[in-house]
């Protein structure tokens, strides 16, 4: 039986994630019920769009392609495959899929529940990409980028490499978030919601199902393993 302190420590991420989830849903419902807030956001989006260049257009379009549904699915499956190979177990691949897949399913539920329309007028004015037919809140591309980068961090051992990867991951997520607003397909609040929701949900799913093993060699050497939830 885990010590009471260990149980409390393991319960903290799910509780924090629940609080973040409730806050995001409430904010989303308020935004959907008051379209004037979205109109104010769209004015800021138009101001951002005035600062444009071919290089920025290409960067935004690239982020749109890499972290769309198909691209993100491929990247997450690749992370699961790497986890399985490094852990020398199919169970580790499944563990990675559970760590990333559960947050993605929760995001889908929030999107359907809030049902906020996209800023169609701004996207049409920009004309850089086709407006997706899904709802706007929260941002799927931003969510997927955060999940992919979180998966990379989960595969990285402790130390300087993880710090570098966390910084790089934050830069990637911020770039994708900017691109969604720049392209006119998301309100700023949409991407902020994903940036708050993704890390909280990944921390919760990791606490519940266990972090994928970085390497099977630790097990072979008899190194102590962190207790996993049963």
For the cut 90, the answer to whether the pLDDT of residue 127 exceeds it is no
Asked if residue 222 belongs to a domain, the reply is no
Asked if residue 219 belongs to a domain, the reply is no
Each residue of 171-182: pLDDT tens digit? Answer: 999 999 999 999
What's the domain range around 75?
4-214
Each residue of 77-123: pLDDT tens digit? Answer: 999 999 999 888 899 999 999 999 999 999 999 999 999 999 998 98
Asked if residue 221 belongs to a domain, the reply is no
Give pTM, 2 decimals. 0.86
**Which CA distances in Å does 73 have to 104, 131, 144, 163, 219?**
10, 20, 9, 25, 30
% of residues, the chain, pLDDT over 70:
88
d(CA 53, CA 105): 36
> What is the pLDDT confidence band of residue 9, given thresholds at 50, 70 and 90?
low
Asked if residue 227 belongs to a domain, the reply is no
Asked if residue 199 belongs to a domain, the reply is yes
Asked if residue 225 belongs to a domain, the reply is no
Average pLDDT score, the chain: 87
Whether the Cβ atoms of residue 28 and residue 106 lie closer than 8 Å to each other: no
Q: Domain total for the chain?
A: 1
């Amino acid at each position: 039986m885990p010590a009471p302190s260990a149980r409390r420590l393991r319960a903290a991420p799910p509780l924090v994630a629940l609080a973040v989830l409730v806050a995001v849903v409430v904010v989303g419902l308020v935004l959907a019920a008051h379209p004037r807030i979205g109109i104010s956001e769209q004015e800021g989006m138009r101001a951002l769009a005035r600062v444009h260049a071919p290089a920025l257009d290409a960067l935004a379009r690239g982020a749109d392609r890499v972290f769309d549904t198909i691209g993100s699915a491929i990247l997450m499956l690749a992370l699961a495959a790497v986890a399985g190979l490094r852990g020398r177990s199919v169970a580790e691949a499944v563990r990675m899929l559970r760590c990333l897949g559960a947050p993605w399913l929760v995001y889908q539920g929030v999107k359907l529940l809030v049902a906020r329309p996209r800023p169609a007028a701004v996207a049409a004015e920009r004309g850089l990409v086709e407006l997706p037919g899904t709802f706007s809140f929260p941002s799927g591309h931003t969510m997927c980028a955060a999940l992919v980068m979180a998966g990379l961090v989960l595969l990285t051992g402790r130390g300087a490499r993880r710090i570098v990867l966390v910084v790089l991951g934050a830069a990637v997520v911020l770039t994708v978030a900017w691109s969604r607003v720049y392209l006119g397909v998301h309100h700023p609040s949409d991407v902020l919601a994903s940036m708050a929701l993704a890390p909280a949900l990944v921390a919760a799913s990791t606490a519940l199902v266990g972090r994928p093993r970085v390497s099977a060699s630790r097990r072979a050497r008899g190194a102590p393993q962190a207790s996993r939830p049963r």
